Amino acid sequence: MKEIRALKAKIRALRDDGYEDSSGDGEDVDGSSDDDDDYSSDSAAHQNPPPMTATASAALSVLNAPPPGTRGAVFDERWLELVAKTHDPHMGAENLGPALYSLCRFVKPKKILEIGAGYTSLFLLQALRDNDEEMRYLAKEKLATHEPDDKRGGQKAMRGMPPDVMWFDAKSAQNLLKSKSTLHCVDDLSHAFCTAQEVKRTATKLGIEEHLRMYDGDAWGGAPSECLPQSKNENGCVEMLWIDFGVGDRLDEFLKMYWPVVAAGGFVVVHSTVTNKATRAWLERVRCGTFRWLESDDSTGDETTKKRKQDKNEKKSKPIDEVHHVSFLEPHKRYQNAFTVLQKRPQGWGEPVYTDEA
């Protein structure tokens, strides 16, 4: 009962600022009292329901169904017990796993490339499974997949919203439904504390192994063929690249090799970047806007040669990508305590604008 009253109190707070509850002291927004939830059909509140804002109406509608974003098993007790077998304190991923899970649930990558398998792999796999199940739920309920005038059946309009204003972008929803989400994982299984061998066994027990593609090999040999762009001038198809192995001071070299596989708007997440010297130098260059992995091969040599090549190829040169970045640090740890997120933003790419206001 307390939970219901708390929800109703939140709904009351969403009403217009000028509205006063005309149903009487101690009564809820639907006309019921705090002491009695039975609603009288002949009550004044029922006969003359007070006006509600669109936001309040949408909120009430949402209360009738579980939020799709919470349809996941990642914090289930059995899930955590099984995944614990792949945890190793040397890897510093106890909080990183849930962080990556949440990030993937939010940005909805269809294809992830992970370099270095282990504890975080299972969080990524579960995120992909939960993403697919969420989209199937929205499609089944006709909440997201088609526009209203589509002959195949339109979206259900949100209560309180104009019928021609859809909450979901149908095209993006359809793209997310086209294929199964997949984690491509590359690991040579050579690390002294390697838990990668346990990943597939645990994924099978959790019922999420169908989303996993494992590659036993050296990441310096290049990305799997399934992750490569179709042509040299195209962006890749990997919406998230997770670098979780000891690349050290060779990050620029590694990113130069793997940047082409990243999709426009895609994310590159790098583990352990802030408090060790090997990667800190790289990070400081990134913070200053120097992205060496985007520089052409002509960037070496004396200044005169570089200037001559630059003038010759000025019209032919491809604009370099814009890169957004942010780093996160666990302040209580000294080792494996941070990660940096980069976003690939090619020239001309940008997120859509759907509304005038929030």
Query: What's the average model confidence in pLDDT over 292-310?
Result: 63
- pLDDT computed for residue 25 by the predictor: 44
Which of the pair, 336 or 31, is modelled with greater confidence?
336
The total of other beta-carbon atoms located within 10 Å of residue 85's CB is 15
pLDDT-derived band at 49 (thresholds 50, 70, 90) equals low
Per-residue pLDDT tens for 319-333? 789 999 999 999 999
pTM: 0.74
pLDDT, mean over the chain: 79
Per-residue pLDDT tens for 180-204? 999 999 998 665 555 667 899 999 9
- pLDDT computed for residue 56 by the predictor: 59
Q: Looking at the domain 74-345, which fold is it? A: Rossmann fold (3.40.50)
The total of other beta-carbon atoms located within 10 Å of residue 300's CB is 9
pLDDT-derived band at 71 (thresholds 50, 70, 90) equals low
Structural domain boundaries in the chain: 74-345
> What CA–CA distance (Å, rounded) separates 241 from 247?
14
Which of the pair, 185 or 69, is modelled with greater confidence?
185
Per-residue pLDDT tens for 200-239? 999 999 999 999 999 999 999 999 999 999 887 788 999 9
pLDDT-derived band at 31 (thresholds 50, 70, 90) equals very low
pLDDT-derived band at 18 (thresholds 50, 70, 90) equals very low
Per-residue pLDDT tens for 107-160? 999 999 999 998 899 999 999 999 999 999 888 888 888 877 777 777 776 667
pLDDT at 59 over 70: no
